[in-house]
A and B are shown apart, each in its own frame.
Chain A
């Protein structure tokens, strides 16, 4: 662990294991992880909405745990693992179970919020599965309260999530 003070003026190399590949870019101390992913690495699947943790659009997984990339500094993620929405589909663009359910239920329209919701839900459903718990519709709605969607009215998102949770 380094105790060096990183000055505000300079760029620092930041290496992150992104979606299973080691990626290196440069960042100032104040650069947000969301901006680093989009502008340094060109991973524009992660969207930026409110930039203060409310809307949920920028949610990624840091060391497997869903969190806001707008409330994390790029330098904080140095040496860690980040998974973005680009990691979900398999070889040849085959949709993940959750993505396919979203498509089936029309759980997205403009798609702005979708990446964040998928990254949250993937972590959450996996954790419940490990504990052998099945979420109720109310549980799903509570989890979704961390995301703003302005198109769907949430009902189709809840349906898609319930279908995957019950599978």
Chain B
């Protein structure tokens, strides 16, 4: 349970990290909080030749409000966002989801961007980013490209990021008046990976429901303001469309049950939050 040997270098800016990625690309991995990567290295599931450590970069640790969204830099920790004053107002969905994201001790060091770059299908932050129609900022050298979340996640632990690109920041659109949010998760123990997690957003136009932990990536659906059996039918169709598989943890049928049940609860929570404003 010790990592294989690697070269190590610190990068204190996006430019420095990109320069190193351009030279070492495929062989190198970005080390930010290390809460996913170091576990993978310790178990030797990955053996990169080089780690580019951005965890101490001040310029990459910024969390700032811009034009309608909150931008979180590559080295900002989950705890920095979670304990941010005003998060409940700015991003209520994240406030609901944070207690489910691993443990306090992991969020202290784990980064927001790291979880999104890792793209675990059961992780909460990729799910929330997709539900909120967020986007990622990818940088190669001096050039940046902006990619919406639904184009970024491409499958199990895989994304549209090229080996020489840095996930420089992510953007979460801020809550707008009239929106309500709901979040539900089922896991074996508190803080474990989600067996199924559902994020729901309700506004005057309709519902947006995203599910994590079932398909190979978070998935999302948009509906008008459905109620009663129409909502049940929509959730049921969504549950089947996710192509759940049996695994040692839980059966596919149980996963579909969770999508329907947690989906119902998350939607109810979102509608109630919307109405109580």
Q: Do A and B come from one complex?
A: yes
Q: Could you tell me the distance in whole angstroms from the C-beta of B256 to the nearest C-beta in chain A?
A: 27
Taking the closest CB of chain A, its distance from the CB of B112, in whole angstroms, is 16
Given A65-B108, A67-B105, A71-B35: A141 touches B190 (CB 8 Å cut-off)? yes
Give A63-74 as 1s and 0s: 1 = Cβ < 8 Å from B's Cβ atoms. 001111011110
Question: Nearest-CB distance from A73 to chain B (Å)?
Answer: 7
Q: Are A1 and B56 in contact (CB under 8 A)?
A: yes
In contact, A70 and B42 (Cβ under 8 angstroms): yes
B1 proximity list for chain A (CB < 8 A) = 50-52
**Which residues of A sit under 8 angstroms from B104, Cβ to Cβ?**
66, 120, 124, 142-143, 146
Whole-angstrom CA separation of A51 from B55 in the bound complex? 20
- Residues of B7-25 contacting chain A, CB below 8 A: 7-12, 16
B106 touches A146 (CB 8 A): yes
CB distance from A49 to the nearest CB of B (A): 10
Asked if A29 and B8 make an inter-chain contact with CB atoms under 8 angstroms apart, the answer reads yes
**Interface residue? B250 (CB, 8 A):** no
Q: Which residues of B contact A3 (CB under 8 A)?
A: 9-12, 16
Interface size on A, residues (CB 8 A): 41
Q: Does A62 contact B (CB under 8 A)?
A: yes
Contact residues in B for A53 (Cβ distance below 8 Å): 35, 38-39, 106
Interface residues contributed by chain B, number (CB under 8 Å): 38
Interface of B is mostly: loop
Q: If the complex has contacts A6-B8, A29-B6, are A76 and B108 also in contact, measured as CB distance less than 8 A?
A: no
Q: Which residues of B contact A50 (CB under 8 A)?
A: 1
> In the complex, what distance in Å separates the CA atom of A123 from the CA atom of B6?
32
A65 touches B103 (CB 8 A): no
Q: Which residues of B contact A142 (CB under 8 A)?
A: 99, 104, 190-191
Whether B143 sits at the interface, judged by CB under 8 Å, is no
Given known contacts A66-B104, A67-B105, A145-B189, A30 and B39 CB-to-CB distance under 8 angstroms: no
A8–B6 touching, CB < 8 Å:
yes
Within 8 A of A (CB), among B156-211: 189-191
Which of chain A's residues have a CB closer than 8 A to the CB of B4? 30
| Complex: A98 Cα to B3 Cα, angstroms | 34
Q: Which residue of chain B lies nearest to A143 when distances are taken between CB atoms in the complex?
A: B104
Interface flag for A15 (CB, 8 Å): no
Closest residue of chain B to A51, judged by CB?
B1
Indicate if A167 sits at the interface (CB-CB under 8 A). no
For residue A73, which residue of chain B has the nearest CB? B8
A53 to B10, CA, bound (A): 23
Residue of B nearest to A141 (CB): B190
Decide: A5 and B7 in contact? CB cutoff 8 A: yes
- Residues in chain B near residue A71, CB distance under 8 A: 34-35, 38-39, 42, 109
Known: A52-B39, A142-B191. A75 touches B11 (CB 8 A): no
Q: Residues of B contacting A32 with CB < 8 Å?
A: 2-3, 42
With both chains docked as a complex, state the minimum distance between the C-beta of A132 and any C-beta of chain B, in angstroms: 13
